[in-house]
A and B are shown apart, each in its own frame.
Chain A
Amino acid sequence: MRPVLTIARLTILEASRRRLLLALGVLTVVVIVLTSWGFSRLPTMSGVTPAEVRLASSQLTILVAFMFSGVLALGSTLVAAPSIASDIESGIALAILPRPIRRSQLLMGKWLGLALLVTVYAAGSGLLELLGIWLATGYTPPNPIAALTFVAAEGIVLMTLTLLLSTRLAPMTGGVIALVLFFVGWIGGIALAIGTGFDNETIKNIGTGSRLLIPTDALWHGAIFYLEPPDFLALARAGGRGARAGNPFFADAPLPGIYLAWVVGWLAAIVGLANWSFAKRDL
């Protein structure tokens, strides 16, 4: 376990020394200040009622969360894609791996370090943004902790997939493939919503298949659900399925337990596959 922690610490230290954390932190604070200022304008608009401010705040909160989840997904891909591949290409891994450290320990150390970075960023940026929104409008989503957990899980899922690709592919190739899969998953989620709205089994199956293969969009919808106020949910449900068909910013139910179990299994399988792939590779 000690080598895993050593590599995890090294991964976090590298992100810090290369000023990734500083750059991300400064930009995030700037974005939070700007969006909070924007939220603070809502109650000052002429003729709006507190209920309308609350409704608008809830929808804008989901949009802002989408932006942060996107930053997190893209960021975790960019950081994970070179994590193993670059160390092999540059020769850094050739110096480390003849030490008494298993390849699985190196990989899991990288995974742990990156997962911590993703979690800390999701929690830090999310809580700060929600604090800004609350100060500006008085609005707080119904379950922010659950929502942020799903956003972090989305980042970890994509990071893990990219790490698997990084054990065999060049950083650029692995990163591009991971991003393509991420967007395919997003489109698959929209297909599922359209298929459900119009009761089209074929489109629904395509959407379900994409959710099983790439769980990022499903986790994003898991986050959305906990950001939607109950009265908004009731209103949307009353509008019928067709009215919300294809809306990527709406979720009418939490993710079922069986699907969450699938995601945990998927994650374990990808981690296992990454370890197997790295262990079998000649360096």
Chain B
Amino acid sequence: MEAADAASLAVHTQDLAKRYGKTVALSGLTMSVRRAEVFGFLGPNGAGKTTAVKLLVGLALPTAGQGWVLGAPIGDLETRRRLGYLPELFRYQGWMKAREVLGLHCELSGMGRSEWRKEIELALQIVGLTDRADDKVEGFSKGMQQRLGLGVALLGRPELVLLDEPTSALDPVGRHDVREIIRTLKARGTAVFLNSHLLSEVEQVCDRLAVVDHGRVIATGTMAQILGQDGAVRVRVTGLPADGRAGLGEFGNLEDEGEWLTFRGLSTDRVPQLVAEIVRQGGRVYAVEPRHETLEDRFLQLLKEQDS
């Protein structure tokens, strides 16, 4: 992809690789994140997720490949004005007040001083820290520091926000709040790159996702594409003759589990036709249910396929 094409994307990487000595952290990462979408980046521990984010924000230098963020090569100084980032290892100056930390980041991002106050108040309000704005950060719990980090990442209405495990220190209420914040960001046209190993979190908020393992993307697409929800139906049947079962193969990939038959790749509008065919062959249908594969099932399956 040319740099000009990359400009239309929030993130684009081409064979991006990172090696620490003999250890390969990332081996040829190729992916695209569209503008104004919530993109989930999934992978087991050590898959290279945090390394990828660090490369995108310029904290680490790639050993091979290329990458563009908001149309500019990764590490570009001016582009960083339009980025928000919450690191996995979040820590802020304990001797400063929360409001001062936000002020420092306003200053470093080059924001006009007249905008600081409004931006700081808005960030505090979004992350629920307005009441603690004038407290020193050293007195904050880990969860509150993560909220502050999220507030820092939201300053200046960035076009792309990269969140590295943003709920690792949060309670269920905090996690819910983060999901709401992500939805708000999407609504105002901000692309969100969500690096997480909390599958339920990704499942609830992401438009598209990539699954990485051993530093390489092993699957990418929309949630439906990843889950393969183009049709998986389970039918509980009795009295179906053996040759009748074999004839049902035309409805999709058949998994025969005795009374339960699973048809993969079956579109919903063909389900009545399937039931009619079973009945025609003498079978008695007790249940028809769409097979709902969770992201966790699919994730584990992908990793297993990758290992084998």
| Interfacial residues, chain A to chain B (CB-CB below 8 A) | 2-3, 6, 10, 14, 17-18, 90-92, 94-102, 280, 282-283
Contacts and interface: CB of A to CB of B under 8 A. Distances in A.
Contacts of A10: 93, 104
B174 interface: no
Contacts of A280: 61
A94 B89 contact: yes
Interface string B106-117: 011110000000
A92 B57 CA distance: 15
Contacts of B260: none
B127 to A, nearest CB: 15
A97 B59 contact: yes
Contacts of B83: 98
A27 to B, nearest CB: 21
B20 interface: yes
A257 B238 CA distance: 103
A92 B92 CA distance: 5
A95 B61 contact: no
Nearest to A106: B108
Contact of B87 (A17, A18, A94): A94
A102 B59 CA distance: 11
Nearest to A97: B59
A14 B57 CA distance: 26
Contact of B95 (A17, A282, A283): A17
B87 A91 contact: yes
Contacts of A96: 105, 108
A100 B95 contact: no
Contacts of B61: 280, 282
A95 B20 contact: no
A91 B105 CA distance: 15
B60 A18 contact: no
B78 A100 contact: yes
B87 A100 contact: no
Contacts of B157: none
Contacts of B110: 2, 100
A98 B77 contact: no
B109 A100 contact: yes
A100 B89 contact: no
A95 B60 contact: no
Nearest to A5: B107
Contacts of B152: 95
Given A6-B107, A282-B59, A100 B77 contact: yes
A115 B81 CA distance: 29
17 contacts: A10-B104, A14-B95, A17-B96, A18-B95, A92-B92, A94-B59, A94-B90, A95-B90, A95-B91, A95-B105, A99-B108, A100-B77, A100-B110, A101-B77, A101-B108, A283-B59, A283-B60
Interface in B40-87: 54, 57-61, 77-78, 80-81, 83, 85, 87
